[in-house]
Chain A
Amino acid sequence: MVTVSRNSLKLLSIGIGLLFTAAVYYTMHYNPRWDWSAPGVGKLPRDIIAQFMDQAYDKGQGGTAQQSYFAKDAMDNAPAADDRRDGAPVPHEIRDVIAQGMTVAVIHRIGPARGNPQLDVIDVFRIKDGRIVRRDRYPTRFAQ
């Protein structure tokens, strides 16, 4: 049997707790499963898409945006879209954004730019690990 100070035991347990905290932080932070370079890591899917659109349309930096926001093996059924190339800003009017889980649907009117006519589309994005892994573009025509 050993006799120890109650305060020493208390301090020891707090020390072990803080050690556990540091160990959990270190183990999780340096876990290779996280891609810390992804621009949307830990962010909500709708926020990731909003940032992508800001860069690709409002700033006209689609080439840069697609390199950072689209995953390397991403599927995109509109590979020639203006939002994947750098150039003049592309005016667009977002009519609605519908997000559910990791899927974000953007209903928007893309204004005439870079020699292309106006286009009404529904872009459906799928997010994984902070990047866009799929984009399905559905051309449509708004009533107004």
Chain B
Amino acid sequence: MANDGKGTAANGSVGSDRVAIALDAATLWRATITLLRLFLGAWMLNSGYSYWAQEFGWPPAFPQPFGTLPASNQMLVTMVEVGLFDFVKTVEVVGGLCLIFGLFVPAATLMLLPVSAVVFYNAVFLNLRTDRLFSPTYMGVSCLYINVIVALAYIRHYLPMLSLRSTPGPLRDLARLPDVFRQPDHDHNT
């Protein structure tokens, strides 16, 4: 069940710093999403760290893979050579840290989605790993699945920007940016 947003709920806020947790399906759902978020963050952080670690001579979690088949080799090597991987791996580190520390989670999830999509494309369409399309232990495909599931769990944060019709606001709206640090999301337990 969801928090009614007014205070005490079966699985919601009972005060400013306390939260009541019912042993029900809603709790199970939130726990599952939290674990998926944390695992995705851990994976992204390791992936991004490994790239930068090699650049700085630190021990990486794993050497940067360059794919198995020629098209994958070509794409990954070219991305490194033209410097695009610097951007991608920075996104992975920043996004991964956000997911692990529970900061800007909807934005970080959205930011990581294109990375996960390219990882999936590389695995399935370039390396032709269709045999592992539904293998949960193969992060070449699983990172996209997890990313999409986590994004769907946070969809209420995306709904405002999915407006069918919209108009631009004044530049003074930028002054509202500090608000992102002042609005704790008490609908979430973690």
Listed in ascending order, the chain A residues whose CB lies under 8 Å from chain B are 1-7, 9-10, 12-14, 16-18, 20-21, 23-25, 28-29, 31, 34, 36, 41-46, 99-102, 130
Contacts and interface: CB of A to CB of B under 8 A. Distances in A.
Contacts of B73: 101-102
The winner among B20, B22, B41, B100 for most chain A CB atoms within 10 A is B100
Given A6-B18, A21-B42, A13 B63 contact: no
Interface of B: 10, 13-14, 17-23, 34-35, 38-39, 41-43, 45-46, 50, 54, 59-64, 66-67, 70-71, 73-74, 77, 80-81, 96, 99-102, 189-190
Contacts, number: 106
Given A9-B190, A21-B45, 5 more contacts: A1-B21, A3-B14, A10-B102, A17-B42, A25-B46
Contacts of B43: 24
A102 B38 CA distance: 34
* Nearest 8 pairs of A and B residues by beta carbon: A101-B73, A42-B63, A17-B100, A20-B42, A17-B38, A101-B74, A21-B42, A13-B190
B48 to A, nearest CB: 11
Given A14-B102, A24-B43, A3 B62 contact: no
A2 B189 contact: no
Contacts of B46: 21, 24-25, 28
A45 B70 CA distance: 13
Contact of A5 (B18, B22, B63, B96): B18
Contact of A130 (B59, B62, B63): B63
Nearest to B21: A2
B189 A6 contact: yes
Nearest to A31: B62
Nearest to B73: A101
9 contacts: A2-B20, A9-B19, A10-B102, A14-B102, A21-B41, A28-B46, A29-B60, A29-B62, A42-B64
A46 B13 CA distance: 57
A23 B45 CA distance: 12
Contacts of B23: 1-2
B62 A28 contact: yes
